A and B are shown apart, each in its own frame.
Chain A
C-alpha cells in the first residue's frame, strides 16, 4: 500500500515548455487535490476532483489544467510553463474528512 505517490520528484523546465505531473493513489479515495506551496504563501489549492471524470477550480487555477480519467490518478498539466510556476506541488486525497498527502514535486522554471 503505497498511499499517495507523485511523479516526478524534481523537474527543471524552461519557460514555455510543457509537462504533466502525475498523482497516483491506491486507497480508492474519491476526492483528490493539487496544491502548490510557496515560501510565505502557504499551501494554495490549484484544482480538485470529487470523483472520476470530475474536476473543479481552486484558488489559483490559471496556467494549469487537470484530468481525472481514472479514479486512482489525478494529472496536473502545465501547457506553457512560466517562472511564476516555480514551486513545490503537492497532491492529496481526502477520505472521511482526513487528508493524505504525497511527498511533493519540486518544479523549477527558468
Chain B
C-alpha cells in the first residue's frame, strides 16, 4: 500500500530565508507527483506537477525535485515571504488514485 509522508509537520522560518519541504513515498511505481498549497479554510491549489519521467519542475520561486528510485521529492522555496504561509501537501498518482501526505504547515515570520 502506497504511503506518503511529509516531514516536518510544521515549520517556522524568518522572512527571506530559503527553505526545503520534504515528501517521501513508499512505492516508486508512481505516475506523477504533485505539490499543492492550502490556505486555512480553503481548497487546494496546484503548485507544481512532476511526471514520473521528470526530475524537477520550476515555477517562479518554487522548485520541486523528484527522485523516484529513492521515493523522495523536495519543494524548495526561495526568498520566503509572509504570503507563503500555508500548508503544503504532496500527492502521488497511482493508477486512477491520488494519495496525499498530511502536509507541512509553514509559517513565515515577518
How large, as a class, is the contact surface on chain B?
A: 20 to 34
Q: Which of A41-49, A63-71, A73-81 is found at the contact surface with chain B? A: A41-49
17 contacts between A and B (CB under 8 A): A4-B43, A31-B96, A42-B89, A42-B100, A42-B102, A44-B100, A45-B99, A48-B97, A50-B96, A58-B97, A92-B44, A97-B31, A98-B34, A99-B91, A99-B98, A101-B43, A103-B43
Q: Which of A48, A59, A99 contacts B44 (CB 8 A)?
A: A99
Taken together as a complex, chains A and B put the C-alpha atoms of A68 and B96 apart, in Å, by 16
B42 close to chain A: CB less than 8 A: yes
CB distance from A8 to the nearest CB of B (A): 15
Q: What is the CA–CA distance of A27 and B51 in the complex, to the nearest angstrom?
A: 22
Task: Please tell me if the beta carbons of B46 and A56 are within 8 angstroms of each other in the complex.
Answer: no
Residue of B nearest to A94 (CB): B98
Q: Which residues of B contact A (CB under 8 A)?
A: 31-32, 34, 36, 41-46, 49, 51, 89, 91, 93, 96-103
Main secondary structure on chain A at its contact with chain B? Answer: strand
Q: What is the CA–CA distance of A94 and B32 in the complex, to the nearest angstrom?
A: 13
- Interchain CB contact under 8 A, B32 and A97: yes
Known A42-B89, A42-B103, A43-B89: A98·B46 in contact at CB below 8 Å = yes
* Contacting residues, chain B, for A4 (C-beta < 8 A): 43
Q: Are A97 and B89 in contact (CB under 8 A)?
A: no
* Contact (Cβ within 8 A) B97 A102: no
Cα–Cα distance between A42 and B87 once the two chains are bound (Å) = 11
For B42, the chain A residues whose CB sits under 8 A away are 103-104
7 cross-chain pairs, A with B, having the tightest CB-CB distances, nearest first: A42-B102, A101-B43, A43-B100, A101-B44, A103-B43, A42-B100, A97-B32
